[in-house]
Structure 1
Amino acid sequence: MAQKLVPDAKQGLNKFKNEIASEMGVPFSEYNGNLTSSQCGSVGGEMVKRMVSQYEKGLK
C-alpha cells in the first residue's frame, strides 16, 4: 500500500465535504448509496471549485 503523504488530509477533506454538503442541502452520512450521482457530483464539484479559488488567491 502507498504511504500517505499527509495523514490528516483525509479527515480534513471529509470535514470539508460535509460542510459543503450541508450548505448545499445534500444529506451526506456514513452511507451515501441512497444519493444520486448528481448530488454527489455537485458536492465534489463545489469542493474543487473552492479549492482552486483558495489556491488562486494564494498566488496573488
Structure 2
Amino acid sequence: MNNSRSSNQLLVPQATAALDQMKYEVAQELGIAIPQDGYYGNMATKDTGSIGGSITRRLVQIAQQSLAGRQ
C-alpha cells in the first residue's frame, strides 16, 4: 500500500496499485533499492528524483501512445 504523505490526489484512485508497481519496476531498472518500511527519509534526493523522473517519462509515453491510437 502507498505510505506516501503527499498532498497530491490521484484523479483515478484505482490507479494507486499500478503506480506503486511502476515505482518498484523503475527503481529496480535504475538499481535503486526502495526501503521495505516505506520510509524514504534515508534515500538520496538524486535517487528519488531519478525514480520520479523516469515514472513521469513513462507516463507521458503511455499517454502519447494512447492518443496516437485514437487518431
User: If the TM-score is normalised by the length of the shorter chain, which range does it land in?
Assistant: 0.7 to 0.9
The aligned residue for residue 17 of structure 1 is 23
Alpha-carbon deviation of 1:15?
Answer: 1.1
Which segments of structure 1 move beyond 4 Å, counting only runs of 4 or more? none
**In the alignment, is residue 27 of structure 1 matched against residue 33 of structure 2?**
yes
Q: State the TM-score, normalizing by the size of structure 1.
A: 0.80
Question: In the TM superposition, what is the alpha-carbon distance from 1:5 to its structure 2 partner?
Answer: 5.0
% same residue: 35
TM-score by length of 2: 0.69
Aligned residues: 58
**Please, which of 40, 45, 49 is the counterpart of residue 41 of structure 1?**
49
Stretches of structure 1 that go unaligned for 5 or more consecutive residues are: none
- What runs of 5+ residues in structure 2 fail to find an aligned partner? 1-9
